[in-house]
Structures are given as structure tokens and as C-alpha cells.
């Protein structure tokens, strides 16, 4: 992404050209960045040789999933819909894991029929349902036990999942009890111990604590798991100067762990694979100047991108065409939705903007489009993939009449 003659290009394609062809608001993904992220992820954990299961909840566009599959990744799914999407995108079922606290009987049955790698169970009641399904199909189902290691991921509380107070996973005592109960079961085979402690994690310390918690379970139970699923959570740089995760320290510790325990590692990254590869292109409908604030009213709203309203998440906004003129007044970039929280960003100054200009909200490839809704009866945005300097429409903008 760079400017030539003041005009912004994404992988050599001008944003204004994309807007002319596709319109706004549009999610635009860069194939190059997606590929680069995957290669980097693989390189960071090369010595570990993990199975990398992309967390489909971060981005479920079939074309994106298909590209991810072609780059060798599997999938982590949390619903029948995500599992269907992963399969449609030609992801190998033997590279699919199923997480989530509320899998229904139908969902478990579907997953078993599709012969996926693992179902990571999160409660005793869920295991009982899995046993029922196994009986019905007269088969032995491969499961993982998801541990809640009671570790603080040191991220925002809304996306923390590994503390005792959170709904996810089983306590250490429960895991040990269930290993005893089910290790000789003819209906389930405990293949994996899984964890996922949170998202947008930027310190390696919580991950090390998590590994210690896993080691304790292995020592106490004296059970050897074929797989250890370490979840995802790796944070990305949203443009504020923050320290990022030290992959080397994390990878070194995992290496020590597998030398000792001889298990295959699974990761479930979402954000680190697609986060910075997505951009939301939006047009300025109006500029409303009040005494204190210039409201830049965009045609994208909180229904298109929820993260700022939901988590006060920070996303950079950059202009499609650069100007040298700077306006020293507070600018609030807002959407057209009738909610005060429909606000993307507030800055003290910004370059001169005009109604009709296009701006780009950055780093929205993960948890962007997937969290969008029809609130205010607005249709969901289109999605575009830039690959080999070509503009590929990978999802049409929803048709209002169809939704209505
Ligand atoms: N595995 C499990 C079991 C998960 O629950 C999640 C994310 C992941 C993997 C992927 O985590 P990642 O590598 O993307 O951090 N909507 C929030 C994020 C919620 C994450 C939920 N679980 C956001 O916009 O920040």
C-alpha cells in the first residue's frame, strides 16, 4: 500500500479505480499481504512444524478461505456454518478442528459425518452429546479437551477467554477427571489438549504461563496427547506504537515443550493471518462542521465495521488522495447509523477533505466483514480481492430488496 502522485494504490491498483468499478463501502483484501502473513507465520514456527488451522470466525469469505487453503492451512471452526464454508472452500477435513462452548447435537453429527480431525470439547454435557453421536454412528470420535488455564492474556477484557471467570474450557481438575473417565472409552478417543486464552495478545508471558499449565496437566495425568492445540491470539499492529509479540521466545518455549512431550502442535490464528490484509473503502457523504468538531460522515457505518463501537478498537483512516493542506481542528469520522457509538475515529487534526472523497479504514481483514449486520436496514458491503493487480469481486453488495 503506497501513494504515487498523491494517489493511494493497494498492490498497484488505485483505490479510486476500485471505487469506480465496485462502489463504496467495500472491503478490499490484498492477496499479497495475506500470502506474506501466512509465510511469516510458518517461518516463525518452522522448527515446530505445526498444523495451522485458520480461525474462520475472523474472515469467512469463501474465496479468501480458498486462498488460505491453497497456501496449506486448515481451519478452526465454531459452527456448522463455518464448517460448511471451510469445506466449500476445499479445506481438507483432516485439517479442521471444531471449537466452541455450545455445539449442538446436529452440529456434532455433521462434523462427525464430515470426518474432521477433532472436536474440542468444552464441558461434560458436550462430551455426553458426543458419546450419544458416537453410539448412533457406531464409531469412535476423536476429541480434544479444551483447558481453561486461568491465565490472564493481558489483552482487553472483552476478548479474554482463558480466565476462570470466562465461559470457555474446562478447569484443570475437570480435564484430569475426564482423562480418567474416558481414556479407555470405545466411543471417544482423547487425542488433543486444547487452549485459547484470548485475542490481540502482544506479550509472550501469558503464552508461557499457558504452556506451564498444559505441562502440569500432562504431568498430573501421565497421559500423552497426540496433539496440543495452542489456539490463536497473536496480536497485530493497528498503527499505535505498541510492542508486539516476541514470536521467537514463544516458539523457543514450544520447541522445548515438544521435545519433552512429543506432540504435534496445532495453532488457530485468525487476526495475524488476515487482519492487516483488509481495508474498508468508504466515501465521504457529508462534512458537517460544528463549532468544535468537523464530522466526516462516511457511507460505511458501525453495521459495516463493529470493532470501534464494540471494543473501542483503534483503526487508522487514511485518504485515497493525499493533500498537503492540514486542518487543525478535531475531526470525527462517523457513519450514517443512528447511534452515537457509530464513530470510527477522532483525531486532533487531519488533511483537508472534501465531500465525495474516499477514505480507507485500515487493518479490517479480521473481525470486520464477519461482524457486520443489517442494522438500520443497511445492506452489507461488497468484498474485493486484489490479486496479480486484478480486481476480483468476491462478494457482491447485498441487494436491499432481497433482504427486505
Ligand atoms: N481459536 C479460538 C477458539 C478462538 O475463540 C479464537 C478467537 C481464535 C482461535 C482466533 O483468535 P485470533 O488469532 O484471531 O486472535 N471480535 C474480536 C475478536 C474475538 C476473537 C474470538 N476468538 C475482535 O474484533 O477483536
Residue with cell 464409531: 139
Same domain for 258 and 279?
Answer: no
Q: Three cell numbers at 152?
A: 490472564
Neighbours of 292 (CB within 10 A): 8
Spot the catalytic one: 53, 192, 338, 362: 338
Q: How far is the CA of 199 from the centre of ligand 1 (A)?
A: 5
Same domain for 122 and 147?
Answer: yes
For residue 285, the model assigns a pLDDT of 98
Q: Is residue 59 situated within a structural domain?
A: no
Q: How far is the CA of 251 from the centre of ligand 1 (A)?
A: 20
Give the distance from CA 332 to its chain's centroid: 27
List, for the chain, all residue ranges whose pLDDT scores fall below the cut of 50.
Answer: none
Same domain for 280 and 250?
Answer: no
Q: What is the pLDDT of residues 90-119, one digit of tens each?
A: 999 999 999 999 999 999 999 999 999 999
List of E strands, 83-172: 96-98, 118-121, 141-146
CATH of the domain at 210: 3.20.20.10
Q: How far is the CA of 137 from the centre of ligand 1 (A)?
A: 32
Number of the ligand 1 atom closest to the C-alpha atom of 367: 24
Last residue within a domain, chosen from 250, 267, 284? 267
Q: Is residue 90 situated within a structural domain?
A: no
DSSP 331-363: EEEE-SSSSTT-EEEEES-EE---TT-EEEE-S
Alpha-carbon separation of residue 130 from 51, 94, 181 (angstroms):
24, 18, 14
Q: Is residue 92 situated within a structural domain?
A: no
The helix or strand, by DSSP H or E, that contains position 8, with its residue range, turns out to be: strand 7-10
Residue nearest atom 5 of ligand 1, based on CA coordinates:
196
Same domain for 246 and 305?
Answer: no
The whole domain housing 130 covers: 100-267
Q: Are 97 and 74 in contact (CB under 8 A)?
A: yes
For the chain, the domain total comes to: 2
Q: Is 338 a catalytic residue?
A: yes
Q: Is residue 393 situated within a structural domain?
A: yes
Same domain for 158 and 300?
Answer: no
Q: How far is the CA of 157 from the centre of ligand 1 (A)?
A: 13
Q: What is the pLDDT of residues 126-173, one digit of tens each?
A: 999 999 999 999 999 999 999 999 888 888 888 888 888 888 899 999
Same domain for 189 and 156?
Answer: yes
Is this model's pTM higher than 0.85 or not?
A: yes
Q: Is residue 49 situated within a structural domain?
A: no
Geometric angle at alpha carbon 100, from 79 and 28, rounded to 5°: 55
Which residue out of 74, 122, 270, 314 has the highest number of ligand 1 atoms within 8 Å of its CB and is therefore the one to mutate?
270
Last residue within a domain, chosen from 209, 237, 267? 267
Q: Give 3-state DSSP helix, strand, coil % of the chain, rounded to 5.
A: 35, 25, 40
Same domain for 181 and 301?
Answer: no
For residue 241, the model assigns a pLDDT of 79
Same domain for 109 and 256?
Answer: yes
Amino acid at each position: 500500500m503506497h501513494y504515487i502522485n498523491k494517489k493511494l494504490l493497494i498492490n498497484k491498483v488505485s483505490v479510486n479505480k476500485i471505487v469506480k468499478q465496485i462502489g463504496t463501502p467495500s472491503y478490499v483484501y490484498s492477496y499479497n499481504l495475506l500470502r506474506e502473513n501466512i509465510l511469516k507465520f510458518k517461518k516463525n514456527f518452522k522448527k515446530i512444524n505445526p498444523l495451522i488451522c485458520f480461525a474462520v470466525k475472523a474472515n469467512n469469505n469463501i474465496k479468501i478461505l480458498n486462498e488460505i487453503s491453497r497456501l496449506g492451512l486448515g481451519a478452526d471452526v465454531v459452527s456448522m456454518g463455518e464448517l460448511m464454508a471451510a469445506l466449500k472452500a476445499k479445506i481438507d477435513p483432516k485439517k479442521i478442528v471444531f471449537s466452541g462452548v455450545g455445539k449442538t447435537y446436529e452440529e456434532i453429527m455433521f462434523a462427525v459425518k464430515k470426518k474432521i480431525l477433532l472436536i474440542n470439547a468444552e464441558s461434560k454435557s458436550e462430551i455426553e452429546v458426543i458419546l450419544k453421536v458416537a453410539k448412533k454412528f457406531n464409531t469412535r470420535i476423536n476429541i480434544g479437551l479444551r483447558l481453561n488455564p486461568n491465565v490472564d492474556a493481558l489483552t482487553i477484557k472483552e476478548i479474554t477467554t482463558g480466565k476462570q471467570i470466562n465461559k470457555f474450557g474446562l478447569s484443570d481438575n475437570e480435564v484430569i477427571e475426564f482423562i480418567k473417565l474416558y481414556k479407555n472409552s470405545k466411543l471417544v478417543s482423547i487425542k488433543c489438549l486444547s487452549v485459547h486464552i484470548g485475542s490481540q495478545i502482544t506479550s509472550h508471558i501469558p503464552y508461557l504461563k499457558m504452556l506451564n499449565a498444559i505441562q502440569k496437566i500432562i504431568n498430573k495425568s501421565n497421559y500423552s496427547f497426540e496433539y496440543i492445540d495452542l489456539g490463536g491470539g497473536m496480536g497485530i499492529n493497528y498503527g499505535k506504537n505498541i510492542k508486539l509479540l516476541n514470536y521467537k521466545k514463544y516458539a523457543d518455549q514450544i520447541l522445548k515443550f515438544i521435545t519433552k512431550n512429543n506432540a504435534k502442535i496445532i495453532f488457530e490464528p485468525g487476526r495475524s493471518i488476515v487482519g492487516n490484509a483488509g481495508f474498508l473503502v468508504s466515501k465521504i457523504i457529508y462534512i458537517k462542521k460544528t463549532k468544535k468538531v468537523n464530522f466526516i460522515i462516511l457511507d460505511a457505518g458501525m453495521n459495516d465495521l463493529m470493532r470501534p463501537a464494540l471494543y473501542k478498537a483503534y483503526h487508522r483512516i487514511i485518504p485515497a488522495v493525499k493533500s498537503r493542506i492540514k486542518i487543525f481542528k478535531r475531526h470525527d469520522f462517523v457513519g450514517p447509523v443512528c447511534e452515537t457509538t457509530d464513530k470510527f475515529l477522532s483525531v486532533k487534526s487531519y488533511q483537508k477533505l472534501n465531500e465525495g472523497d474516499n477514505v480507507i479504514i485500515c487493518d479490517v481483514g479480521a473481525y470486520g466483514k464477519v461482524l457486520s449486520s443489517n442494522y438500520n436496514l443497511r445492506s452489507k458491503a461488497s468484498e474485493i480481492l486484489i490479486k496479480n493487480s486484478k480486481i476480483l469481486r468476491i462478494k457482491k453488495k447485498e441487494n436491499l430488496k432481497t433482504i427486505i
